[in-house]
């Protein structure tokens, strides 16, 4: 039993020598270690891309640019805060906008860190730094478009967003909002540096368009100048990209399946944020999930608006019809659909459908007895109209289609332009810039500088590819700018451009078509570019954390 004493002695000695209690996290590295070598710098740089890709940024970014436009119509009310982005019933507590604000600044500060820590010198590191300048500019560009009034409206007076270029921002001493102009100046400076820094090096050739590049910077510069109204520069940079011959428009059926391609295989993409199969599949919560239910994945609540479909239907051969997927029912039932004015609120509309049967070449429907659908030919297209029906009193054009299921009275026109990459229902690599936009940027710049033939030439490139008639002249009843913007709307729909395209051109958002934006006590069916609601509220949480942020009215 004497051994017990030595045993106790050992235990006591053990206690006195005491154990090591230092531990480290397993999935994280301290900032110092990350920036200690080029590998770490590369990982941190890719981190900025990861921040761009994350749903925290990408989803509300898409919601804001697209759901605030007129290409879409929601088919019900939803608890999701996207509802208030869509119907302009803005609240300062919108979670998406807080996510968007912080998503942008996280990306910006991470870019700042890499720019600060990486040493310029080798073409490779220069390129990495250039990428950070590009991404930073992209984030600022979104910030200023979401929370700052359009550049056309007194940019040196109107407030934009705070500019932060520090790697380690001092939480107690953060800048207030800069003016819209100051933010644009910062964007121009970043993009110009980016283009220069990235001019001498390419990441892997085959993956050129899924990272920022010299041409991606030029492409974004073209858009930024266009937004600023500097049409000469907008044209210049668009031309640079087009002339670089790095990209070519997809044609034929390739174009029709463009969302299903990975960006690397898509010659038209200048820069897209690459989503990997499985890894980056957000499923129901991908923004494509709002547009379509595919193989049971997705909410399928936000449909192509009637006004967009009207525009598209002007040319039945338009290849862009492929991006809209009407959910026709099986079988051979047909129906006619029209929208009528609801009395209140003024301008709001609702759909009415009648089943039709083909009686020896004539379509008939039942409204207080059997009635027929009349036809007329306009510009080679057959148009259908009726004169009798619920809530109408005069000649009303109708759409004749196979019978469609409805969601709360709204026929399901799924949009599949943001889905189906590599056959995965809601996988998609969001496109930041593509060649078609360059032609449209240039067309708009040319239109605004009076170069009619140049503008039409560019528009025709797009129309030809879409398999529709080209213009030889500006059609009567339309201005050249209207022609360009109409084409831009058709081509860039569901790519988060539309809202900005309306307001930066001083136009009025016209929502007088069916959709649940007419719900609620005070719906906004038209939003002029001067409306306070053209810009969103700064998220309340951010003002609480940073009181020197001035709220938008």
Minimum Å distance from CB 162 to other proteins? Answer: 6
Q: Is 3 a residue that touches other proteins (CB under 8 A)? A: no
> 271-290: which residues touch other proteins (CB under 8 A)?
274, 276, 278-279
Q: Which of residues 234 and 416 has its CB atom nearest to other proteins in the complex?
A: 416
Q: Which of 3, 6, 26, 206 binds other proteins (CB under 8 A)?
A: 26
Q: What is the dihedral of CA 117, 121, 127, 131, to 10 degrees?
A: 30
How large is the greatest C-alpha to C-alpha distance in the chain, in angstroms? 113
Task: Judge whether 338 and 356 are in contact, CB under 8 Å.
Answer: no
How open is the CA angle 536-412-484, to the nearest 5 degrees?
55
Give the 3-state secondary structure of residue 509.
Answer: strand
Q: Which two tokens stand for residue 304?
A: 């192509």
CA distance 469 to 456: 12
**Is the Cβ of residue 205 or residue 243 nearer to other proteins in the bound state?**
205
The single residue listed with the structure tokens 């300048």 is 133
Nearer to other proteins, 235 or 515 (CB): 515
3-class DSSP assignment, residue 272: strand
Are the C-beta atoms of residues 61 and 100 closer than 8 Å to each other? yes
Nearer to other proteins, 86 or 308 (CB): 86
Residues with Cβ < 8 Å from 205, sequence gap 6 or more?
none
> Which of 106, 190, 116, 211 lies closest to 433, judged by CA?
211
User: In this structure, is the dihedral angle defined by the CA atoms of residues 425, 72, 211 and 178, taken in order, positive or negative?
Assistant: negative
CA distances from 308 to 36, 91, 304, 498 (A): 52, 27, 7, 11
Least spacing, CB of residue 50 vs other proteins, in Å: 4
CB of 77 to other proteins, least distance (A): 5
241 neighbors 21 (Cβ within 8 angstroms): no
Closest approach of other proteins to the CB of residue 208, in Å: 12
Could you say whether residue 30 binds other proteins (CB under 8 A)? yes
Q: How far is the CB of 500 from other proteins (least distance, A)?
A: 22
Min dist. Cβ of residue 274 to other proteins (A): 5
Q: Which of 6, 79, 156, 379 binds other proteins (CB under 8 A)?
A: 79
Nearest to 198 by CA among 188, 184, 209, 212: 212
* Count of chain residues binding other proteins (CB under 8 A): 96
Of 392, 399, 346, 384, nearest to 367 by C-alpha is 392
For residue 345, what are its two tokens? 């609120």
**Residue 313 Cβ, how far from other proteins at the closest point, in Å?**
26
Rounded least distance, CB 126 to other proteins, Å: 19
Q: Minimum distance from CB of 213 to other proteins (Å)? A: 14
**Does the footprint of other proteins cover residue 299 (CB under 8 A)?**
yes
Q: Which residues contact 437 (CB under 8 A, 6 or more apart)?
A: 219, 223, 491, 492, 497
Contact pick of 2, 3, 6, 28 for other proteins (by CB under 8 A): 28
C-beta closer to other proteins: residue 200 or 207: 207
The residue from 2, 4, 377, 477 that contacts other proteins (CB under 8 A) is: 4
* C-alpha to C-alpha distance for 263 and 210, rounded to whole angstroms: 7
Binding of other proteins by 108 (CB under 8 A): yes
Residue from 25, 121, 361, 477 in contact with other proteins (CB under 8 A) = 25
- State in Å, rounded, how far the first CA of the chain is from the last one: 85
Region of 1-9, 222-230, 431-439, 457-465 interacting with other proteins (CB under 8 A): 1-9
87 within 8 A of 70, measured Cβ to Cβ: no
Give the interface segment with other proteins, choosing from 36-44, 194-202, 448-456, 505-513 (CB under 8 A).
36-44
Site string for other proteins, 454-483 (x = CB under 8 A): ------------------------------
Q: Which of residues 302-341 bind other proteins (CB under 8 A)?
A: 329
> Considering the rule CB under 8 A, would residue 205 count as an interface residue with other proteins?
no
Residues within window 488-547 making contact with other proteins, judged by CB under 8 A: 516, 518-521, 523, 537, 540-542, 544-546
85-104 residues in contact with other proteins (CB under 8 A) are 87, 89-93, 101-102, 104
| Interaction between residue 49 and other proteins (CB under 8 A) | yes
* Backbone φ, ψ for residue 321 (5° rounding): -60, -25
Buried b (16+ CB within 10 A) or exposed e, 89-117: bbebebebbbbbbbbbbbbbbbbbbbbeb
Of 88 and 237, nearer to other proteins (C-beta) is 88
Q: Would you state the structure tokens that stand for residue 189, as one six-digit string?
A: 């400076």
Q: Write each residue from 159 to 178 as x if it is in contact with other proteins (CB under 8 A), else as -, in one continuous string.
A: ---x-x----x-xx-xx---
**Using the rule CB under 8 A, is 371 a contact of other proteins?**
no
| Among 26-34, 61-69, 120-128, 497-505, the segment contacting other proteins (CB under 8 A) | 26-34
């Amino acid at each position: 039993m004497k051994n017990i004493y030595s045993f106790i002695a050992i235990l006591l000695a053990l206690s006195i020598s005491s154990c090591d209690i230092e531990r480290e996290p397993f999935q994280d590295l301290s900032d110092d270690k990350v920036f200690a070598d080029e590998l770490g710098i590369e990982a941190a740089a890719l981190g900025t891309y990861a921040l761009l890709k994350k749903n925290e940024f990408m989803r509300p970014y898409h919601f804001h640019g697209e759901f605030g436009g007129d290409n879409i119509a929601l088919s019900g009310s939803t608890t999701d805060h996207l509802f208030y982005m869509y119907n302009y019933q803005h609240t300062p507590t919108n979670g998406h906008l807080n996510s968007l604000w912080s998503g942008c600044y996280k990306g910006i500060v991470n870019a700042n860190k890499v720019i600060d820590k990486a040493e310029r010198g080798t073409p490779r590191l220069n390129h990495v730094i250039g990428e950070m300048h590009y991404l930073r500019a992209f984030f600022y560009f979104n910030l200023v478009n979401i929370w700052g009034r359009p550049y056309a409206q007194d940019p040196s007076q109107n407030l934009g967003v705070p500019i932060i270029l520090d790697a380690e921002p001092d939480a107690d001493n953060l800048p207030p909002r800069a003016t819209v102009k100051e933010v644009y100046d910062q964007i121009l400076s970043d993009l110009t540096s980016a283009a220069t820094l990235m001019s001498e090096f390419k990441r892997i050739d085959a993956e050129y368009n899924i990272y920022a590049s010299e041409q991606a910077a030029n492409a974004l510069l073209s858009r930024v100048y266009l937004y600023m109204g500097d049409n000469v520069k907008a044209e210049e940079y668009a031309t640079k990209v087009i002339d670089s011959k790095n990209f070519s428009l997809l044609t034929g059926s390739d174009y029709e399946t463009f969302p299903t391609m990975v960006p690397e295989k898509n010659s038209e993409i200048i820069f897209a944020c690459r989503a990997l199969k499985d890894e980056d599949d957000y499923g129901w919560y991908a923004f494509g999930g709002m547009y379509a239910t595919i193989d049971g994945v997705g909410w399928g609540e936000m449909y192509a608006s009637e006004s967009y479909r009207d525009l598209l239907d002007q040319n039945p051969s338009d290849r862009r019809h492929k991006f809209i997927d009407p959910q026709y029912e099986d079988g051979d039932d047909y129906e006619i659909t029209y929208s009528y004015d609801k009395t209140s609120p003024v301008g709001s509309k609702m759909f009415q459908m009648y089943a039709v049967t083909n009686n020896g070449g004539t379509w008939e429907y039942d409204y207080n007895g059997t009635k027929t659908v009349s036809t007329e030919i306009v510009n080679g297209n057959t148009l259908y109209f009726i004169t009798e029906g619920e809530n109408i009193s005069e000649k009303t054009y109708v759409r004749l289609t196979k019978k469609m299921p409805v969601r709360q009275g709204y026929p399901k026109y799924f949009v599949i332009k943001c889905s189906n990459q590599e056959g995965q229902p809601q996988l998609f690599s969001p496109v930041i810039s593509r060649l078609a936009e360059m032609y449209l940027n240039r067309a708009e710049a040319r239109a605004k500088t009076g170069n009619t033939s140049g503008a039409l030439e560019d528009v025709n490139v797009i129309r030809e590819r879409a398999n529709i008639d080209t213009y030889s002249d500006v059609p009567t009843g339309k201005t050249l700018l209207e022609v360009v913007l109409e084409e831009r709307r058709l081509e860039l729909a569901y790519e988060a451009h539309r809202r900005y395209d309306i307001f930066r051109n001083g136009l009025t958002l016209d929502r007088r078509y069916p959709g649940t934006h007419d719900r609620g006590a005070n719906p906004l069916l038209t939003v002029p570019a001067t409306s306070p609601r053209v810009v969103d509220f700064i998220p309340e949480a951010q003002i609480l954390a940073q009181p020197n942020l001035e709220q938008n009215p």
